[in-house]
Protein backbone atom coordinates (compact mmCIF):
# COMPACT_ATOMS: atom_id res chain seq x y z
CA UNK A 1 0.00 0.00 0.00
CA UNK A 2 1.38 3.42 -0.93
CA UNK A 3 1.84 6.25 1.55
CA UNK A 4 -1.17 8.16 0.20
CA UNK A 5 -3.36 5.04 0.31
CA UNK A 6 -2.42 4.53 3.97
CA UNK A 7 -3.40 8.11 4.78
CA UNK A 8 -6.71 7.77 2.93
CA UNK A 9 -7.41 4.59 4.93
CA UNK A 10 -6.86 6.51 8.18
CA UNK A 11 -9.31 9.22 7.11
CA UNK A 12 -11.88 6.70 5.85
CA UNK A 13 -11.65 4.58 9.03
CA UNK A 14 -11.77 7.54 11.41
CA UNK A 15 -15.53 7.51 11.88
CA UNK A 16 -15.69 11.02 10.41
CA UNK A 17 -17.55 11.53 7.15
CA UNK A 18 -15.56 13.35 4.45
CA UNK A 19 -16.65 14.53 1.04
CA UNK A 20 -14.83 13.15 -1.99
CA UNK A 21 -13.55 16.68 -2.64
CA UNK A 22 -11.99 16.85 0.84
CA UNK A 23 -10.28 13.50 0.32
CA UNK A 24 -8.79 14.68 -2.97
CA UNK A 25 -7.42 17.84 -1.31
CA UNK A 26 -5.36 16.20 1.45
CA UNK A 27 -2.09 18.04 2.01
CA UNK A 28 0.86 15.72 2.53
CA UNK A 29 3.43 17.90 4.31
CA UNK A 30 6.98 16.57 4.43
CA UNK A 31 8.40 19.92 5.56
CA UNK A 32 11.12 19.64 2.91
CA UNK A 33 12.90 16.95 4.94
CA UNK A 34 12.26 14.03 2.59
CA UNK A 35 11.32 11.59 5.39
CA UNK A 36 7.54 12.07 5.52
CA UNK A 37 6.80 8.77 7.26
CA UNK A 38 9.00 9.89 10.18
CA UNK A 39 8.51 13.67 10.17
CA UNK A 40 5.39 14.72 8.35
CA UNK A 41 1.77 15.70 8.67
CA UNK A 42 -1.32 14.99 6.60
CA UNK A 43 -4.20 17.39 6.74
CA UNK A 44 -7.54 18.43 5.38
CA UNK A 45 -8.29 22.11 5.86
CA UNK A 46 -12.02 22.64 6.24
CA UNK A 47 -11.78 26.41 6.55
CA UNK A 48 -9.11 29.03 7.15
CA UNK A 49 -10.18 32.65 7.10
CA UNK A 50 -9.41 35.89 8.94
CA UNK A 51 -11.38 34.73 12.02
CA UNK A 52 -10.76 31.02 12.52
CA UNK A 53 -9.38 27.76 11.13
CA UNK A 54 -10.47 24.11 11.31
CA UNK A 55 -8.44 21.10 10.13
CA UNK A 56 -8.44 17.33 10.35
CA UNK A 57 -4.97 15.84 10.68
CA UNK A 58 -3.68 12.29 10.34
CA UNK A 59 -0.41 10.93 11.71
CA UNK A 60 0.76 7.42 10.88
CA UNK A 61 2.13 5.29 13.74
CA UNK A 62 5.16 7.09 15.19
CA UNK A 63 4.91 9.96 12.68
CA UNK A 64 5.95 13.32 14.14
CA UNK A 65 5.01 16.91 13.36
CA UNK A 66 8.32 18.76 13.98
CA UNK A 67 8.82 21.35 16.70
CA UNK A 68 7.56 24.82 15.85
CA UNK A 69 5.70 27.84 17.17
CA UNK A 70 3.17 30.32 15.85
CA UNK A 71 4.61 33.80 16.59
CA UNK A 72 3.06 37.24 16.51
CA UNK A 73 2.81 38.48 12.95
CA UNK A 74 1.85 41.46 10.85
CA UNK A 75 3.82 44.50 9.82
CA UNK A 76 4.17 45.70 13.42
CA UNK A 77 3.58 42.30 15.08
CA UNK A 78 0.08 43.51 15.91
CA UNK A 79 -1.50 40.11 15.23
CA UNK A 80 -1.33 37.54 18.02
CA UNK A 81 0.18 34.17 17.08
CA UNK A 82 -2.11 31.24 16.39
CA UNK A 83 -3.81 29.59 19.35
CA UNK A 84 -4.86 26.03 18.61
CA UNK A 85 -6.85 23.31 20.27
CA UNK A 86 -6.04 19.71 19.38
CA UNK A 87 -8.78 17.14 19.95
CA UNK A 88 -7.83 13.53 19.37
CA UNK A 89 -10.58 11.68 17.49
CA UNK A 90 -8.84 8.32 17.17
CA UNK A 91 -5.61 6.89 18.53
CA UNK A 92 -3.21 8.48 21.00
CA UNK A 93 -0.97 11.54 20.64
CA UNK A 94 2.14 12.55 22.54
CA UNK A 95 2.18 16.35 22.63
CA UNK A 96 5.19 18.33 23.85
CA UNK A 97 5.05 21.99 24.85
CA UNK A 98 7.17 24.45 26.76
CA UNK A 99 7.11 23.86 30.51
CA UNK A 100 8.60 21.57 33.12
CA UNK A 101 10.41 18.74 31.33
CA UNK A 102 8.96 15.24 31.65
CA UNK A 103 11.82 12.96 32.69
CA UNK A 104 10.97 9.87 30.61
CA UNK A 105 8.95 10.84 27.54
CA UNK A 106 6.82 8.35 25.61
CA UNK A 107 7.72 9.62 22.13
CA UNK A 108 10.74 8.56 20.14
CA UNK A 109 12.60 11.65 18.95
CA UNK A 110 13.22 11.36 15.20
CA UNK A 111 16.90 10.58 14.74
CA UNK A 112 17.53 12.68 11.63
CA UNK A 113 16.46 15.85 13.47
CA UNK A 114 17.21 14.90 17.09
CA UNK A 115 18.97 18.20 17.92
CA UNK A 116 15.93 20.25 16.86
CA UNK A 117 13.54 18.96 19.51
CA UNK A 118 13.95 21.14 22.59
CA UNK A 119 10.67 21.12 24.58
CA UNK A 120 9.69 18.03 26.57
CA UNK A 121 6.71 18.86 28.78
CA UNK A 122 4.57 15.87 27.86
CA UNK A 123 0.81 15.81 27.50
CA UNK A 124 -0.67 12.46 26.47
CA UNK A 125 -3.97 12.77 24.65
CA UNK A 126 -6.28 9.80 24.19
CA UNK A 127 -9.30 9.75 21.87
CA UNK A 128 -11.87 12.26 23.13
CA UNK A 129 -9.30 14.43 24.94
CA UNK A 130 -8.08 17.85 23.93
CA UNK A 131 -5.47 20.45 24.78
CA UNK A 132 -5.15 24.14 23.88
CA UNK A 133 -1.72 25.45 22.91
CA UNK A 134 -1.27 29.17 23.62
CA UNK A 135 0.16 31.48 20.94
CA UNK A 136 3.96 31.66 20.56
CA UNK A 137 4.46 28.34 22.39
CA UNK A 138 6.99 25.86 21.02
CA UNK A 139 5.39 22.47 20.47
CA UNK A 140 5.63 19.19 18.58
CA UNK A 141 3.59 16.03 18.54
CA UNK A 142 3.79 12.37 17.62
CA UNK A 143 1.25 9.59 17.10
CA UNK A 144 1.48 6.50 19.27
CA UNK A 145 1.80 3.01 17.78
CA UNK A 146 -1.70 2.94 16.22
CA UNK A 147 -1.50 6.34 14.54
CA UNK A 148 -3.93 9.17 15.20
CA UNK A 149 -6.64 11.39 13.80
CA UNK A 150 -6.66 14.88 15.32
CA UNK A 151 -9.06 17.78 14.88
CA UNK A 152 -7.54 21.23 15.13
CA UNK A 153 -9.60 24.30 15.93
CA UNK A 154 -7.63 27.54 15.94
CA UNK A 155 -7.31 31.18 15.22
CA UNK A 156 -6.27 31.83 11.58
CA UNK A 157 -3.43 29.68 10.27
CA UNK A 158 -0.54 31.36 8.47
CA UNK A 159 2.00 28.65 7.62
CA UNK A 160 4.47 31.18 6.21
CA UNK A 161 4.91 32.81 9.64
CA UNK A 162 5.47 29.55 11.57
CA UNK A 163 8.94 29.22 13.07
CA UNK A 164 10.43 25.73 13.07
CA UNK A 165 13.34 24.81 15.33
CA UNK A 166 14.95 22.87 12.48
CA UNK A 167 16.32 25.46 10.00
CA UNK A 168 16.12 22.91 7.15
CA UNK A 169 12.32 22.86 7.26
CA UNK A 170 10.42 24.49 4.41
CA UNK A 171 6.66 24.90 4.65
116 closest CA partner among 169, 163, 168, 165: 165
Supply the range of the domain harboring residue 57.
Answer: 3-164
What's the domain count of the chain? Answer: 1
Q: Has residue 51 got a pLDDT over 80? A: yes
Collapse the DSSP code of 86 into the 3-class scheme (helix H, G, I; strand E, B; otherwise coil) and give the result. strand
pLDDT in tens, 119-165: 999 999 999 999 999 999 999 999 999 999 999 999 999 998 999 99
Looking at the chain, the whole-number percentage of residues with pLDDT higher than 70 is 100
The answer to whether position 171 is within a domain reads: no
Pairing of strands 130-133, 121-126: unpaired
The answer to whether position 8 is within a domain reads: yes
The answer to whether position 63 is within a domain reads: yes
pTM: 0.96
CATH of the domain at 114: 2.60.120.10
94 closest CA partner among 45, 129, 53: 129
Predicted confidence at residue 101, as pLDDT, reads 97
Q: Has residue 171 got a pLDDT over 80? A: no
Amino acid sequence: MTYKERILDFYRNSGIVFSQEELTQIEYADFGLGNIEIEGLNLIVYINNERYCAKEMVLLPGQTCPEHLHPRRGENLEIEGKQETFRVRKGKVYLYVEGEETSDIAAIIPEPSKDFYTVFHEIILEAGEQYTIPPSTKHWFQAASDGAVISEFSSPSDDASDIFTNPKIKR
